Structure formats: C-alpha cells, structure tokens
Structure 1
Amino acid sequence: MNKYLILMILGLSIQGYTAFGQLTIETCQEKAKNNYPQIKQYGLIEQTEAYNLSNANKGYLPQVAINAKATYQSDVTELNGTKVVNNDQYQAYAELNQTVWDGGVIRSQKGNIKASGEMEKQSLEVELYTIKDRVNQLFFGILAVNELITQNDLLQKELQTNYDKVQAYIQNGVANQSDADIIKVEQLKTNQRKADLLANQKSYKEMLSAMIGDAIGMEDSLVKPDYITNHNNETLNNRPELNLFEAQSDFYTSQESIIKSGNRPKVGLFAQGAYGNPGLNMFEKGFTPYYIVGARLTWNLGGFYTQKNNLSKISINKQSVDVQRETFLYNTNLKISQQANELEKIKEQIRNDDEIIELRTRIKETAEVKVYNGTLTVTDLIREINAENTAIAEKVLHEIDLLLALYNLKNTTNN
C-alpha cells in the first residue's frame, strides 16, 4: 500500500486543462511540455538561425572597400636624367568586388548553419522528452491514491456494518462492549489512513499543477487510461535521441563541405575607381582620376596541407556519434525487454489477485458467521476483514502498476 505513497517527489514547472475538470495523461504531458521554461529556447534557436543565414546570404552582395595611402620612395624611374614621377606619391581609391563563384563556401556555410540549428532543436527535444516520465509518475501516483481512498471508504462502510451488527449482538447477549470497542478502534485507524491519503493526494496534485501550469483542485479528476486502448505491441524505437544523433552526423557532414569548398578556386569581378598622383599615366604630372575593371581568380593552396587531417578529425567525430547511437539502442532495447517482462509479471499478479480476493472474501464471510455463533472473536474477524481489504488494495495497485508499466514502455519507445 505504501509504495505509491513513497513513489513521487519529483519535478516542477509546466501548463493546461480539459473540459469539465477532467485531465488525461496526454493532456498533462503536452501542457507540461508547453509550460517548461526551456520551450522558449525554440524561438531563440530559430531567430539565431535566421540571422546567421541572412549574414551568409550577404556574402553574395557586392563588397565595397575604400582605401587611401601616401608613400615616399627612396628612388623612382628616371628618363634622360629626369624623374618620371615624384618620390612622394598619393592614392585614394574605392574598390567594388562581386563574387561570381566562391567554390561553394557560402552554400556550405548555410548548410552548416541549418545543421547546427537542427542539432540544437533536437537536443532541446531530448531535454523536453524527459518531462513525460515525470508527469507519468505523478499522474499514476495520484490515480493510485484515488483508488486507495475509494477502497478506504468501502472498508469504513464495512466496519460500520459490522459495528452495527455487534451492537445488536450485545443487546442479544451474544457479544460484549469490548467487541464493539475493537471495531471502533479499527474505524478510527481507517479514518487516520484516509487523512494521510488525502494529504498525499493534495501534495501530488499540487506538484502536477506546478508542472502543467494549471491549478488542479481536489474536485478535479484525472482520467484513468484504458489498458486495451493504449496497449501497443509495437516496440519500434521512435526516441528523439535518434533524431539528435542524425542531426549531429549531418552537422559534421556540413563541416566537411565547408573544408572542401574553402580549398576550391574562387572567381570574381572587380572595379576600382581612384584618384592619385601619379595616375595610371606616369608621365602625367599632378592628381588624376582613373579606373580599373577586371576579373580575378584566386586559389589558396595552403588549405590542402591540413585538409586531410581536418577531414580525419571530423570522421572521428562522426564515428563517435555512431558509437553513441549504438550504445543508446543497445541500452534502450534492454530496457524495452525488461519493461515488457514487467508487464507480463504484473498481468500474472492481477490474475492471482482475483483468486486471492475470492478466497479472502469467503474466509471473511465464514468468520462473520462464526462470530455470530460465538465460536470466533471479533479480533479474529477484524483480522480477516483487513486481510480481504489488503488483497483488494493490492489488486487496485497492481492495476495502476500495469498502466504505469505500459506508459513506461510507451515512453521508452516513444510510441
């Protein structure tokens, strides 16, 4: 009886609700996710990605540079003993460069930005996914307490019925006041247990309220899931971690593209307008304007020195991601197998519970007859009543256990 009362002391922070004061577990999970502070990170990731993509696209725009210089040369060209130009020279110019082909650098950068953004989003999905388990524990903990409160009420009614019978026995001289007192003590204990259960119910509802960001009153009810409807034999692994591994691998692939494109030749157009002394005509004295237009090919071969090592490092990172994926699948498959076995074990316990309850009820009814005939004490009857109540309570908890185990399996596989 106490395992569910010890079960939860977890989580806080999350939002939501359904009609007529009823909440399903799926609603709680969704509201908890939407209420989690980290959910705001989605918008920040998308904004950052948009800004970075915008910056990368600006690489296609014409690039303008303005330069000026003044120099003094120790020697200059002379013609027939006359200096062609002065030793002091001045130049101011603006240069316009337009990329025609950059070897795929900008395209690779954009691919890397998108891959990085996707990796951040999937990492956030993994973090948000852990909320499901916390909600499940609280949700089914509340259901368990609710069932125990219902069973406690039934026990109280049965004790009252037997108390009334004993009072009648006392009037007929078949029992004495101490027999009634024994039942009264048990009634008081049952009232104490109910007070504890109500306190636990209130505590768990407050924790779940904090997670979903919506107040759950004592009058509000949680909808108990139907096992048959929610049972799914599919064990296909749809966990967000697998998407994260894929995003990480894509990110490293985009880095490979950046390295390769950076080592390709670049082609561009340029135009330069200048004003200087001398101008292009060295024989013309004074400041003159001029311009130059043309095409430019650049190819920095220095990147090839380190390309092999850089690609090898990225390959190692991708292999590391593959190892992490394999390890995750291995551990998850083990967990799926354990949880599937747990489901079968609980179903077998429930089948035995039905027979145990039937036997306990029969024993209790026989004890009631014996008390009436004076061949059994009221203390013995109380023991049998408690034994039957315990058997019923264990079945109730096993049924909640079954649902929790099912949702644990669903959570492990994300189905």
Structure 2
Amino acid sequence: MKKILPLLIGCLLSVTGIAQEQQISLSMLYDKLEQHYPSADKLRIRNEITGIQQQLSQTGWYPEVTVGASTSWQSEVTEVPFVPNGPEFSQDHYTVSLDIVQPVFEAGRVSKMKRLNQIQGEVANASTEVEMQSLRRQIDQIYFGILQGRKNLEILQVLTHDLEEQLSSIESRVKNGVLLPGNKYSLEAELLKVEQQKTGVEEQIKGGFEMLSILSGAELNDRVELEIPETSGLNEENEFYRAEYELFDARQQILNSQLELSGSDKLPVITAFGKTAYGRPGFNAFDNDLHFYWMVGLKAQWSFRSWRNSDKKAQVLELEKDELQTSEDAFTRQLKAGISKQQYRIESLNKQIELDGQVLELRTKVVAEKKHQLNEGVITSTEFITELNAENRARLNLELHKIQLMQAKYEYQTLKGDIWK
C-alpha cells in the first residue's frame, strides 16, 4: 500500500500537469466546430432531405395505380318503352375497379424537377457553409483577442511593477519629509487604475474562453495555452474563394432550372391509361349481370392558362437573376473594400514593428548604460528598474504588434477565402 500510494499521487500530478499545460490551436478549434456545432448537422440532414426529394420526383415517371370500389341504389333506372318484355335494369349498382395512368410525354418536367431539387440541396449546403465560415471568423476574432489580451496583461504587469518601485521610493521620501503625501496618493491612485484595467482584461480573456467553449464544444479555461498561428505569404491575386460565391452560383442555377421548368408549361402532357372493373352495369348498359369490363386509351392535356403565363413567369425569373447578380456585385465590392483596408493595416503594422525594433534596440542600449551606472553608484536601483521596465514594455509592444499583424494577415486571407479553400 505504501508503494502504491506514491504511484497514484504521481499519476494524478501527471494528469493535472497535462491539464494545466493544455494547448490548442485555431485548426483544432475549427475541427471541434465541425464536429460539435449544430450547423454541421445541417449538411447531413439536408443531404437526406435531398435524397428523399429526388426519390419523390422520380415517381413522376412511374404509373399511377388507383383501386376503387363503390355501391349505390338508384331511385330510377333506364326503361325501354314500346318494347314488350324489354330488358330490366337493377337499381343496385356495384363496381370494383383498377385504374392505371402512365405518363408518356411530360415535357421533361420530372427530370427538371429532379435537377431543381438537387440544386435546392446545394443552396442549403452552401448556406450552411457560409454560416460555418462566419463562425470560423468569430473564432478567429476571439482567439486573437485572447492573445492580445494576455500580452496587454504582461504590459500592465510591467507597468504595475514600475509604479510599485516608484511608490516605494516616494514613500521613503515622504517619510523623510522630502516630498508631500500628495505625490504618494497620486501613484496609489494610478496603481488602482492599472489594477482596474488588469481586471477588465482578465474578464475579457475569461469571457473569450467561455465563448470558444460554447462555439467549439471543447472544455476550455483561461489556463489553456493558445498556439500563435502562422500564415504563409499573402495571395495578392484578384481571386476569391468565399462560400458566398458558391451560394450565389447555386441560386442562379435554381433560377435557370425554374426557367426551364416554366418552359415545359407551354407543352401538353400525354398519358396512357387503362381501366378494368368488375360490377354492374358496365360499359354495356343492357348487360345487367355482374361481369368484368375494361378499356385502354391515350389522353392529352394542354392548359392554355399555363401556356399564356409561361412568358410572364420567365420574365419574372430573368429579373430575379438580374437582382441576384446585383447582390453578388455588391458583395464583391464590399469584399474588395475590406481587403484593401486589411492591406493598409498590414503595411501600417509592418512599419510599427520596424519602429518597435528600433525602439527596443535603443532601450536595450539605455539599460546597458544604466546597469553600468548602477554598478558605479551613479543612479539608484529605482531608476535602473524604471529603464528596465521601459525595455520590457518596448519588447512586449513589439510582440503585441506582431500578434496584431498575424491577425490582420488572417483577416486578409479570411476575406479572400484562402484559409479554407
């Protein structure tokens, strides 16, 4: 038992360490989103619906079989006057029938309806993919927001340390009567202000992890490490891979299919039919016995109203196609504006990062000089720590701008659709 207990404790510590050091990446969150978010189930459900609708449409080619039965009592029946001992007809009638109607020519309505159902399924799938892309963008924004929040916390922590060092120095001077207490109170108020900012950032980070947990279905907390994503070179070609274009295309195909279907309204429908029945009376009104009888034939139907309205329907559908194209053009224009904005942001951040590097280099030189002065007794440790914190802030600002640059590149690639193509 004494040997087993340390082993169990070691296992528990090992598991705890794994939980504390848990890492997650954007791609992992995308996978979790695909697996757990309800929208992902829409694709499966829609595919099942489309399959069933295809089967239903295909039945338009099958013969329609109808079984019927009837019985009735007639108050009067046919009489043959002026014929002695003429035939007598029963007042009770019975019929059991089987009717079959087989389409012979339906102007392609069935195949066009099958195609329309298939495209409607593609529209639903494209709509779901648009929704999933929107959710991925939401995850991106939260993810990078957490990364920036953590970097801001580090900057605020350095500022807190700097203020505490200055407060310690001022308290000593106030105690010795060199400074008035108001200097101390100002620093204490500034420290409280920084603590407020830290609390706000911490709550934002915690809220971000909660949102990521809800969207992805993964159990996350604010101790989880987020991998900093990497991006390849930016694709500056004027090509887009957004799911919205697939949706626009599918909707155009629906309108084209509806146009083809409306053209079928100008043509007649021809069917072959057959009927067999048992009962009385049959087609021979003078046969009063129960007997079998049947008939076969062809039938043509041509609706002049449908023929007349077909051109109007086509006109409406053409206008809807123009309207859809206008919406697509407007979407493209907004997309180009967003991409242009991100390009300028990327250029601006690159310049800031270049300047951050120069600032950090200068701050590093200042710290090296102040360290030498500290060793020589020229400056106090508080002055040295102030410069050291300034160097740390410069380094953290550089890292923060690098994260912002990474986010801007991701947003650029997201707008173009390169991330998910």
TM-score over 0.5 for the alignment? yes
Structure-2 separation of matches of 1:113 and 1:84: 58
Which sections of structure 2, spanning at least 5 residues, go unmatched?
1-20
Structure-2 separation of matches of 1:86 and 1:299: 39
Kindly tell me: are residues 37 and 342 of structure 1, through their superposed partners in 2, closer, same or farther at Cα, counting changes over 3 Å?
same
Question: Which secondary structure state, in structure 1, belongs to the residue aligned with residue 277 of structure 2?
Answer: strand
Kindly tell me: are residues 190 and 282 of structure 1, through their superposed partners in 2, closer, same or farther at Cα, counting changes over 3 Å?
closer
Structure 1 residues 222-281: Cα deviation after superposition (integer angstroms, max 9, x where no partner): 221234x36444452111111111111111122222222243222222211124544333
Structure-1 separation of matches of 2:112 and 2:79: 48
> Is 1:91–1:274's contact at 8 Å kept on the other side of the alignment?
no
Aligned to 1:42: 43
Query: What is the letter of the counterpart of residue 33 of structure 1?
Result: E
Instruction: State whether structure 2 residue 103 is matched by structure 1 residue 99.
Output: yes
Structure-1 separation of matches of 2:81 and 2:25: 97
Aligned to 1:14: none
Aligned to 2:351: 348
Kindly tell me: are residues 278 and 195 of structure 1, through their superposed partners in 2, closer, same or farther at Cα, counting changes over 3 Å?
closer
Instruction: State whether structure 2 residue 215 is matched by structure 1 residue 214.
Output: no
> Is 1:85–1:282's contact at 8 Å kept on the other side of the alignment?
no
Number of aligned positions between the proteins: 385
Query: What is the letter of the counterpart of residue 268 of structure 1?
Result: T
Aligned to 1:327: 330
- Once the 2 structures are TM-superposed, how far is the Cα of residue 342 of structure 1 from its aligned partner? 1.0
Question: Which secondary structure state, in structure 1, belongs to the residue aligned with residue 284 of structure 2?
Answer: coil
Aligned to 2:229: 225
Instruction: State whether structure 2 residue 123 is matched by structure 1 residue 122.
Output: no
- Once the 2 structures are TM-superposed, how far is the Cα of residue 91 of structure 1 from its aligned partner? 5.9
- Once the 2 structures are TM-superposed, how far is the Cα of residue 147 of structure 1 from its aligned partner? 4.0
Query: What is the letter of the counterpart of residue 270 of structure 1?
Result: F
Structure-1 separation of matches of 2:362 and 2:146: 29
Aligned to 1:61: 62
Question: Which secondary structure state, in structure 1, belongs to the residue aligned with residue 229 of structure 2?
Answer: coil
Question: Which secondary structure state, in structure 1, belongs to the residue aligned with residue 107 of structure 2?
Answer: coil
Query: What is the letter of the counterpart of residue 113 of structure 2?
Result: Q
Structure-2 separation of matches of 1:150 and 1:345: 23
> Is 2:281–2:289's contact at 8 Å kept on the other side of the alignment?
yes
Kindly tell me: are residues 147 and 100 of structure 1, through their superposed partners in 2, closer, same or farther at Cα, counting changes over 3 Å?
same
- Once the 2 structures are TM-superposed, how far is the Cα of residue 321 of structure 1 from its aligned partner? 0.9
Structure-2 separation of matches of 1:68 and 1:252: 46
CA RMSD, Structure 1 to Structure 2 (Å): 4.1
Pick from 295, 314, 319 the counterpart of residue 292 of structure 1.
295
Question: Which secondary structure state, in structure 2, belongs to the residue aligned with residue 135 of structure 1?
Answer: helix
- Once the 2 structures are TM-superposed, how far is the Cα of residue 303 of structure 1 from its aligned partner? 0.9
> Is 2:265–2:310's contact at 8 Å kept on the other side of the alignment?
no
Kindly tell me: are residues 53 and 77 of structure 1, through their superposed partners in 2, closer, same or farther at Cα, counting changes over 3 Å?
farther
Question: Which secondary structure state, in structure 1, belongs to the residue aligned with residue 299 of structure 2?
Answer: strand
Structure 1 residues 146-168: Cα deviation after superposition (integer angstroms, max 9, x where no partner): 44566678889999999xxx9xx
Instruction: State whether structure 2 residue 251 is matched by structure 1 residue 251.
Output: no
> Is 2:32–2:217's contact at 8 Å kept on the other side of the alignment?
yes
Query: What is the letter of the counterpart of residue 22 of structure 1?
Result: Q
- Once the 2 structures are TM-superposed, how far is the Cα of residue 142 of structure 1 from its aligned partner? 2.7
Question: Which secondary structure state, in structure 2, belongs to the residue aligned with residue 225 of structure 1?
Answer: coil
Pick from 399, 408, 417 the counterpart of residue 414 of structure 1.
417
Query: What is the letter of the counterpart of residue 118 of structure 2?
Result: K
- Once the 2 structures are TM-superposed, how far is the Cα of residue 330 of structure 1 from its aligned partner? 0.9
Aligned to 2:29: 28
Instruction: State whether structure 2 residue 398 is matched by structure 1 residue 395.
Output: yes
Structure-1 separation of matches of 2:310 and 2:94: 39
Structure-2 separation of matches of 1:73 and 1:315: 59
> Is 1:89–1:278's contact at 8 Å kept on the other side of the alignment?
no
Which sections of structure 1, spanning at least 5 residues, go unmatched?
1-19, 171-175
Aligned to 1:205: 209
Structure-2 separation of matches of 1:312 and 1:77: 59
Structure 1 residues 360-408: Cα deviation after superposition (integer angstroms, max 9, x where no partner): 2333444455566666566655553443333222211110000000110
Aligned to 2:136: 132
> Is 1:24–1:223's contact at 8 Å kept on the other side of the alignment?
yes
Kindly tell me: are residues 67 and 260 of structure 1, through their superposed partners in 2, closer, same or farther at Cα, counting changes over 3 Å?
farther
- Once the 2 structures are TM-superposed, how far is the Cα of residue 190 of structure 1 from its aligned partner? 12
Structure-1 separation of matches of 2:306 and 2:225: 66
